[in-house]
Amino acid sequence: MQRIGVFVCHCGSNIAATVDVKKVVEVIRSEPGVVHAEDYQYMCSEAGQERIAIAVKEHKLTGIVVCSCSPRMHETTFRKAAERAGLNPYMVEIANIREHCSWIHKDINEGTEKAVILARAAVAKVNLNTPLYPGESRVTKRALVIGGGIAGIQTALDIADAGYEVDIVEKTPSIGGIMSQLDKTFPTLDCSACILTPKMVDAAAHEKIKLYTYSEVEKVSGFVGDFTVDIRKKARYVDADKCTGCGLCQEKCPSKKTPSEFNRGLGNRSAIYTPFAQAIPNVPVIDTDACIKFKTGKCGLCQKVCAAGAIDYTQKDEIVTEKYGAIVVATGFDTIKLDNYDEYAYNQSKDVITSLELERVMNAAGPTHGHLERLSDGKAPKEIVFIQCVGSRCSDDRGKPYCSKICCMYTAKHAMLIRDKYPDVNVTVFYIDVRTPGKNFDEFYRRAVEQYGVNYVKGQVGKVIPQPNGKLLVQGSDLLDNKQILKEADMVVLATAIEPNKDVRKIATMLTASIDTNNFLTEAHAKLRPVESPTAGIFLSGVCQGPKDIPETVSQAGAAAIKVVGLLAKDKLMTNPCTAHADELLCNGCSTCANVCPYGAISYEDKQVNDHGIRETRRIAVVNNALCQGCGACTVACPSGAMDLQGFSNRQILAEVDAICR
């Protein structure tokens, strides 16, 4: 049985005016467990806290109820006071008789009666309180960034600049990501490579950053502060230490017919290749599917020409195991496949291209060396049609329900660049809405319309029909003029929806990070914790969390980095003791609790139990206290009642219910 002291605060007249505090003290004395009750002017004052300390000693109190203002105000104060008096801080409960009582009830009888009931409920709860102790876990001061695009690079740089080790795992042979494929960037029109390449170099040169390119995360275990990650370094067949990056191997390679990933398949590359000239690291890889040596055993030309002797056909995949305190997901995006959109004739005509392909066409290092030309016949187009929202804001399941966010702006950019360089080319943009909420965005778009004479048509395109003369007949509607439009175009550019990188689901599963129905990673709180995953220690950077442009990506990358730094700066993590735990004799091991846990805090172990003489091995839920945040979702999902929440246990809440309904 507890020995409970009840302390009723007057809060000046805030409480005492509408609650007869003396009466509350008197009535509460006869509650089971209560051995002491008193009232005081201001319990939260130093003198008030001192009274608690004295009473704890005098009456050998084991539990405390403070009837005062909201626990959101002073629960911590009184817990600390209790701790100073030698009690466990979690032996304190607050009855909120100010905000929930005295301030809203005018009648003193009514107020007093309710205050007594609230006090009684708190006493009933304390009767079942047990001392709770926060746990501690260590922090490995090293971070992992998955994905080496601009998001990952920026996050890594910021973490490294703060003085912490950070590794980037990038699955392609080079860091740089989609941004490296872009020609110019809006709204300033500076060259993408010019601003990205220095960052790539910085990352590669940073003494705190380690790059794992052509590598993938294979396995993740552990939890916040203490993750263990297996990284698969795929065999490059080129010794990175020996390679000088001279490029001779690529030049001599006889197999040059593989579509270049970097050029979105619009050009070819050799079997041994670096994706693009500025690739970092500047070390090629051999594509074994294309390599003649690997396919037939003959050739070996690259090995012969390599003066450094870096080519090694015997190289094997390597698994590296590293420890990390925090993991940042920066897996980025890709454009959707257009198989569901036959009406745009993407698969029928080479002159229907996606906007990202147009980036490559416009780029000096691209397949057309920067000349705007039709990919079918190399002729210069005179009439270009842009179609917006291809697969974005889609109400059926052909596309995506969300707005891809960047398309309006890059289309304005494309239109403007074309009109600038080729003033004789007509540009028409079919759109649903033009969305330009960003700094200097709307001005940018208006320049396209007003200064460059881009023809914006509000309306959707129903069909693009390739004509025998090589032109493309675009059937659209103009909603503002309420008329059908038929336009013969030389090129059609599709603002294709973006979607999270297809690997994200696999990665999210490894990390027990949640993802939404569109495969975007879920943030811990949509507004207040946008760069954190609900799973502690997992952070989000860039488009893996939702569509965003470069400036937004970079700022989010920085935000994720500071969250990581905040975590790595700690030597130890104190865990909230109000966590769930499973009674191993009651647990069925059914996994229902794990299915509702937003933090991936529940795992299962085969444990040897002794259930009143029955010894057997059972599958039992184990809660990781470092991950559990104490929401209690699992406690209700659990049918047997095995899962309970410390500090808000089933029996404690029921005791409060009983006390109120008495």
* Footprint on residues 61-90 left by other proteins (CB under 8 A): 70-73
Residue 106 engages other proteins in binding (rule: CB under 8 A): yes
Task: Decide: is 117 part of the binding site for other proteins (CB under 8 A).
Answer: yes
Decide: 90 and 2 in contact? Cβ < 8 Å: no
CB 650, min distance to other proteins, A: 5
- The verdict on 583 binding other proteins (CB under 8 A) reads yes
Q: Per-residue DSSP letters for 399-455?
A: S-SS--SSHHHHHHHHHHHHHHH-TTSEEEEEES-----STTHHHHHHIIIIIT--E
Q: Which of 42, 488, 604, 622 binds other proteins (CB under 8 A)?
A: 604
Our finding on whether 402 is near other proteins (CB under 8 A) is: no
Asked if 578 touches other proteins (CB under 8 A), the answer is yes
The answer to whether residue 607 forms part of the interface with other proteins (CB under 8 A) is: no
Residue with token string 């599709």: 494
Min CB(604)–other proteins separation in Å: 8
By beta-carbon proximity to other proteins, the closer residue of 365 and 653 is 653
Q: Does 616 bind other proteins (CB under 8 A)?
A: yes
CB-wise, 73 or 622, nearer to other proteins? 73
Q: How far is the CB of 524 from other proteins (least distance, A)?
A: 6
Using the rule CB under 8 A, give the single segment among 341-349, 366-374, 445-453, 630-638 that binds other proteins: 630-638
CB of 17 to other proteins, least distance (A): 12
> Which tokens belong to 212?
């794992």
Write the burial class of residue 524 (CB in 10 Å: 0-12 exposed, 13-18 middle, 19+ buried): buried
In this structure, the number of other CB atoms found within 10 A of the CB of residue 314 comes to 6
Tell me the closest approach of the beta carbon of residue 128 to other proteins, in angstroms.
Answer: 10
Query: Given the complex with other proteins, which of 111 and 147 has the nearer CB atom?
Result: 111
- The answer to whether the beta carbons of residues 444 and 410 sit under 8 Å apart is no
The answer to whether residue 364 forms part of the interface with other proteins (CB under 8 A) is no
Token pair 């937004």 is found at: 552
Cis amide leading into 437 (omega within 30): no
| Cβ-contact 549, 602 below 8 angstroms | no
Choose which of 3, 100, 350, 393 interacts with other proteins (CB under 8 A): 100
Q: How far is the CB of 371 from other proteins (least distance, A)?
A: 47
Closest CA to 28 of 134, 141, 115: 115
Among 195, 299, 510, 636, binds other proteins (CB under 8 A): 636
| Smallest separation, CB 648 to other proteins (Å) | 6
Does 1 help bind other proteins (rule: CB under 8 A)? no
* CA gyration radius, the chain: 33
d(CA 381, CA 428): 13
Q: With CB under 8 A as the contact rule, which of the stretches 173-181, 317-325, 340-348, 605-613 interacts with other proteins?
A: 605-613
The CB-of-133 to other proteins minimum distance in angstroms stands at 18
622 binds other proteins per the rule CB under 8 A: no
Q: Report how far apart the first and last C-alpha atoms of the chain are (Å, whole number).
A: 21
Q: Which is nearer to other proteins, 368 or 545 (CB)?
A: 545
Q: Determine the interface stretch with other proteins among 240-248, 283-291, 537-545, 625-633 (rule: CB under 8 A).
A: 625-633
Point out which span in 114-122, 209-217, 272-280, 559-567 binds other proteins (CB under 8 A). 114-122
Among 466, 592, 603, 622, binds other proteins (CB under 8 A): 592
Contact between 5 and other proteins per CB under 8 A: no
| Count of CB atoms situated within 10 Å of the CB of 648 | 16
Residues 264-283 that bind other proteins (CB under 8 A): none
Q: What is the DSSP string of 9-74?
A: E-TTTTTTTTS-HHHHHHHHTTSTTEEEEEEES-TTSHHHHHHHHHHHHHTT-SEEEEEES-HHHH
Is 558 a binder of other proteins (CB under 8 A)? no
Query: Which of 596, 603, 607, 622 is the binder for other proteins (CB under 8 A)?
Result: 596
Ranges of H-type helices in 127-269: 150-161, 192-205, 248-252
Percent helix / strand / coil, the chain, rounded to 5:
30, 25, 45
Distance between CA atoms of 9 and 15, rounded to whole angstroms? 7
Residue 149's φ and ψ, nearest 5 degrees, are: -80, -165
Burial level of 442, CB count in 10 A (0-12/13-18/19+)?
A: middle
* Interface residue with other proteins, options 92, 101, 286, 550 (CB under 8 A): 101
How many Cα atoms are found within 13 Å in the side-chain-facing hemisphere of 288? Answer: 13
Does residue 661 belong to the site contacting other proteins (CB under 8 A)? yes
- State whether residue 313 is helix, strand or coil: coil
Residues in region 24-53 near other proteins by CB under 8 A: 30, 32
Q: Is 643 left (phi over 0), alpha (psi -120 to 50) or beta?
A: beta
Query: By CB under 8 A, what part of segment 455-514 binds other proteins?
Result: 514
Figure out which of the listed residues 522, 541, 556, 575 binds other proteins, where binding follows CB under 8 A: 522
Q: Is 121 in the site for other proteins (CB under 8 A)?
A: yes
How many angstroms separate the CA atoms of 473 and 467, rounded? 7
Residues 195-254, interacting with other proteins (CB under 8 A) = none
Q: Does 585 bind other proteins (CB under 8 A)?
A: yes
Contacts with other proteins by CB under 8 A: the residue count is: 76
CB 351 within 8 A of CB 490: yes
- Binding to other proteins (CB under 8 A): which residues in 158-187? none
Q: Which of 588, 603, 607, 622 binds other proteins (CB under 8 A)?
A: 588
Residue (278 or 629) nearer to other proteins, CB? 629
- Alpha carbon distance 438, 555 (integer Å): 13
